[in-house]
Amino acid sequence: MMLALLHRVVVALLPFVALPAFGAGAIDGEVARQPLNPTAIVMFLLFVVATLFITWRASKATTTSSTFYNAGGQITGAQNGMAIAGDFMSAASFLGITGLMFIGGFDGLILSLGAFGAWPVLMFLFAKRVRNLGSFTFIDVISQRLDRNPIRLVTAFSTIVIVVMYLIAQMVGAGKLIQLLFGLPYELALVIVSGLVLGYVAFGGMLATT
């Protein structure tokens, strides 16, 4: 009962996760419209078409929870490593870390070390257990040992808080990119990018996002 309620609350809140990006004042300055760059626009559109094609192909293969959450275990370590590296070299990292270093100097560098610090610990302690238990997340693993409802509440709450922080920088970066490339209003650019990302994840699952 409580889990069902929690699930509904989380699902209901998800669409609002990206909303703070609309009000984000991270880049308030006037964006000067660049001269039309057909090469950049064509490359961007090609990238979008290619990723949508991958998503379409992946959605055909995504039929079970296992294929949605971990691509049925068919992604190799090297492929997954490259995908994680791609995640790490995101707009959020570029904006967040360079911004922090701009404000705080060398102190900002500690943030970029954080990701390198966290992933190996997860691998040493949890990776094999996740695989052996047939679970998809670290929360599933610790729920096996601890009281499920409180641990899921705490982790769902902390996940949403962290994702909101992360997504604001990510969406601001992506929105500004579209605004610069196409001269579209920032809000419309945000909606387009959010729609594309939602489409990739919802239809293609782990296979498409990887």
Interface positions with another protein (CB under 8 A): 77, 106-107, 109-110, 113, 116-117, 120-121, 123-125, 128
Residues 6+ apart with CB under 8 A from 160: 10, 13, 17
Which residues, other chains included, contact 6 with Cβ-Cβ below 8 Å and sequence gap of 6+?
A: 149, 152, 153, 156
Q: Whole-angstrom Cα distance, residue 76 to residue 209?
A: 14
Measured from the CB atom, the residue of 125 and 133 that comes closer to another protein is 125
Nearest CB to another protein, comparing residues 117 and 195? 117
Tokens of 17: 């996760």
Q: Are 190 and 18 in contact (CB under 8 A)?
A: yes
Q: Which is nearer to another protein, 87 or 187 (CB)?
A: 87
Q: Yes or no: say if 142 and 154 are a contact pair by the CB < 8 Å rule.
A: no
Environment class of 58 (CB within 10 Å of its CB; exposed 0-12, middle 13-18, buried 19+): buried
Q: How far is the CB of 114 from another protein (least distance, A)?
A: 9
Q: Least Å distance between CB 152 and another protein?
A: 24
Query: Measured from the CB of residue 108, what is the shortest distance to another protein in angstroms?
Result: 12
Supply the minimum distance, in Å, between the C-beta of residue 121 and another protein: 6
Of the two residues 110 and 133, which places its CB atom closer to another protein in the complex? 110
Residue 103 CB, nearest distance to another protein (Å)?
A: 16
Q: By C-beta, is 101 or 164 nearer to another protein?
A: 101
- Give the ranges where 89-185 is alpha helix by DSSP (H): 91-104, 109-122, 128-133, 138-145, 148-182
